[in-house]
Structure 1
Amino acid sequence: MKKTALVICPGRGTYNKPELGSISANLGASSPKIKEDLQSVLSQIDAERAQSGLATVSELDQAKLFKTSLHQKPEHAAALIYAAGYLDYLSIDRERYDIAAITGNSMGWYTAMACGGAWSVATSTRLVTSMALLTAGGAGAQFIYPVVDSEWRPDAQRIALVEEQLAAHQGQLMRSINYGGYAVLAGTEEACAAAMKALPVADERFPLLLPGHAAFHTRLMAAAAAQAQETWPVAAFQPPQTPLIDGRGQQWLSPETDRTALQRYTLGHQVTETFDFTKAVQVAVKEYAPDHIILLGPGSGLGGAVAQSLIAINWQGLRSKADFSERQTQADVPYVLSMGLAEQRALVTAGRN
């Protein structure tokens, strides 16, 4: 009997040294019945990149060494993350899983748009690169701070500390992403530096500045949003074939989707306002009650934030990290399946070699 699944796409910063070669490795391990289709899509992505004068995803992924100066360049990292996620989506065994809805974190919204059929392969390939360049060139900085305790339960004291800094730097420091048990804050470099200095050290590594990140999902991205809307017309957008849940928790359903509204949200609100990943996850499970949550690659960093989002609403009795860990191990197939983990990937993909 088929199981329903919510699919979640990772955001920027998830293609790192451990992920080098993962796209080609996953492709090589795919079953013959889907390998040809996956290779065809990757070839289309590579062709679009080559036509734009950029290194192809295959070239980047198959490089002998991981180079931060190369692989973490915005126009390269964005393409690698999108391509890995989209190919993972196409690898999901549809005889075992019905995809109920799709969402994503931050840049993962672009991958979600591609997976949901709102963009063609050509459009999504070019657009993710375009948006990476537009937003990375913006002003400001971004850092992350935990707002949960060691058991992933909301921590009132840490939440209050974050609110204090937002109030102290009003208009200069903003809530960028609600990311499960973490607050991602962004703003001017001066405000971020002052807030990071004022916040007490948490879990031995926070507050943590996110290298190479600008003030994403804040008003400092207004110029990028305006240019994006001029560059990418409504004609590039199509109603999604699978329900999408955006960074406000709003659903986009086909055929009711207003393409103009989708374009304005994706290239406007989503660029300049808070991306509430926590709410997106919570709305998705409440609306669709999926049997499983499938996390696309690359990497496997989404698991904690997803679990923390579920714990915050006591979803299906989850009240702590321990509860979540027990839930993951008590069944033959874990509730949350990360395609970045080999043992869980095998439970998601269509028949392996």
Structure 2
Amino acid sequence: MKKTALVICPGRGTYNKPELGSISANIAASSSTIREDLQSVLDTIDAERAALGLATVSELDQAKLFKTSIHQRPENAAALIYAAGYLDFLSIDREQYDIVAMTGNSMGWYTAMACAEAWSISTSTKLVTSMAQLTADGEGAQFIYPTVDSEWRPDVERIAVVEEQIAAHPGALMHSIHYGGYAVLAGTEDACSAALAALPKADERFPMLLPGHAAFHTKLMQGAAEQAQETWPIAAFQAPQTPLVDGRGYQWLTPTADMPALHSYTLGHQVTETYDFSKAVQVAVKDYAPDHIILLGPGNGLGGAVAQALIAIGWQGLSDKADFSARQEAELPYVISMGMPEQRALVTAAQS
């Protein structure tokens, strides 16, 4: 009997040095029944990138050395993250898993849209690149700060100091992403610098400025949103074939999705307003009650935030980090990360 799964796509910053070569390696390690299809999809993505005069995903992924100046360029990082996630999605064994819904974090929404067939491969490749360029050119900065304790339970003191900083910089510092047990804040460079200096040090490395990030998911991205809506017409959108849960917790159901509204959200609200990843996860598990949650690559950084979002609502009795860790020790973990080879093998067909 098939197991049901919620699929979650990662956002910016998840293709890093350890992931170099992972896209080509995962294709090579795939079952022969899908290997050619995966390579064909990657070839299509590469062709679209080449037509734009940009380095192909294959060239970037198969480079001998990871270079921040190249691999973390917004238009390159976005393409690598999207391609890795999309190919992971196609690698999930549908004989084992019935995908009942999808969501993503930040730019992971674009990957989710592609996986749900709301865009063609050509459109999604070009749009992901375009949005990365438009938003990266925006002003401001973005940083992250924990709002939970060491056991992943809400920490009222940390939450309070975050809110104090937002209140101290009205209109200049805002919630960018509700990311499990972390507040991702963004705003003007002055406001971010002041908040970074004022917030108490936490867990030895926070607050942490996110290099190369502008004030994503805030009103400072209004110009990018307007340009995106002028560049990408409603005609580029198609009815998603898998239910999508967006960064408000709103569901886009097939086949009745309102295309003008989906266009407006994706290139408007999603760009300029707070992205509530925690709520997206919480709504998805409540409404679809999946047997498992599958996290697409690249990397495996989503696990903690997803667990923290579940703990916040006491999902299936989870109350802290220890509960979640115990649940993950099962032969088939509840949350399965495709960025971890041993867990990837649990959701893909055996190589042949």
TM bracket (short chain): over 0.9
User: Are positions 1:243 and 2:261 aligned together?
Assistant: no
Match of 1:66 in 2: 66
Match of 2:76 in 1: 76
User: How far is the alpha carbon of 1:253 from its aligned partner?
Assistant: 0.6
User: How far is the alpha carbon of 1:306 from its aligned partner?
Assistant: 0.2
Show the 5 A alignment for 1:1-353: 1-329=1-329, 331-353=330-352
| Whole-angstrom distance in 1 between the partners of 2:76 and 2:193 | 28
User: How far is the alpha carbon of 1:351 from its aligned partner?
Assistant: 2.2
| Whole-angstrom distance in 1 between the partners of 2:333 and 2:54 | 39
| Whole-angstrom distance in 1 between the partners of 2:299 and 2:212 | 19
| Whole-angstrom distance in 2 between the partners of 1:193 and 1:151 | 29
Q: State how many pairs are aligned.
A: 352
SS of alignment partner, residue 176 of structure 1: strand
SS of alignment partner, residue 13 of structure 1: coil
SS of alignment partner, residue 347 of structure 1: coil
TM-score scaled by length of structure 2 = 1.00
Identity of aligned residues (%): 80
What root-mean-square deviation, in Å, do the aligned CA atoms of Structure 1 and Structure 2 show?
0.5
Code of the aligned partner of 1:303: G
Dislocated runs of 4+, deviation >6 Å:
none
SS of alignment partner, residue 183 of structure 1: strand
Code of the aligned partner of 1:10: P
User: How far is the alpha carbon of 1:352 from its aligned partner?
Assistant: 2.0
| Whole-angstrom distance in 2 between the partners of 1:342 and 1:75 | 27
Confirm or deny: 8 A CA contact 1:118 1:241 kept in the other structure: yes
| Whole-angstrom distance in 2 between the partners of 1:207 and 1:57 | 32
Structure 2 residue ranges without an equivalent (≥5) = none
| Whole-angstrom distance in 1 between the partners of 2:49 and 2:5 | 31
| Whole-angstrom distance in 1 between the partners of 2:52 and 2:200 | 45
Code of the aligned partner of 1:347: L
SS of alignment partner, residue 350 of structure 2: coil
SS of alignment partner, residue 38 of structure 1: helix
| Whole-angstrom distance in 2 between the partners of 1:246 and 1:17 | 29
User: How far is the alpha carbon of 1:68 from its aligned partner?
Assistant: 0.5
Confirm or deny: 8 A CA contact 1:346 1:352 kept in the other structure: no
Once the two structures are superposed, residues 95-138 of structure 1 have per-residue CA deviations (whole angstroms, 9 ceiling, x without a partner) of 00000100000000000000001000000000000000000000
Code of the aligned partner of 1:175: H
Confirm or deny: 8 A CA contact 1:93 1:351 kept in the other structure: no
| Whole-angstrom distance in 2 between the partners of 1:42 and 1:22 | 13
| Whole-angstrom distance in 1 between the partners of 2:16 and 2:328 | 26
Confirm or deny: 8 A CA contact 1:5 1:97 kept in the other structure: yes
| Whole-angstrom distance in 2 between the partners of 1:49 and 1:183 | 34
SS of alignment partner, residue 185 of structure 1: strand
| Whole-angstrom distance in 2 between the partners of 1:351 and 1:120 | 28
Once the two structures are superposed, residues 306-353 of structure 1 have per-residue CA deviations (whole angstroms, 9 ceiling, x without a partner) of 000000000000000000000011x21000000000000000112224
SS of alignment partner, residue 323 of structure 1: helix
User: How far is the alpha carbon of 1:254 from its aligned partner?
Assistant: 1.1
| Whole-angstrom distance in 1 between the partners of 2:287 and 2:96 | 21
| Whole-angstrom distance in 2 between the partners of 1:351 and 1:18 | 24
Confirm or deny: 8 A CA contact 1:11 1:105 kept in the other structure: yes
SS of alignment partner, residue 211 of structure 1: coil
User: How far is the alpha carbon of 1:266 from its aligned partner?
Assistant: 0.2
| Whole-angstrom distance in 1 between the partners of 2:120 and 2:184 | 31
Once the two structures are superposed, residues 264-300 of structure 1 have per-residue CA deviations (whole angstroms, 9 ceiling, x without a partner) of 0000000000000000000000000000000000000
Once the two structures are superposed, residues 21-64 of structure 1 have per-residue CA deviations (whole angstroms, 9 ceiling, x without a partner) of 00000000001000011011001000000111111000000000
Confirm or deny: 8 A CA contact 1:141 1:215 kept in the other structure: yes
SS of alignment partner, residue 174 of structure 1: strand
TM-score scaled by length of structure 1 = 0.99
User: How far is the alpha carbon of 1:256 from its aligned partner?
Assistant: 1.0
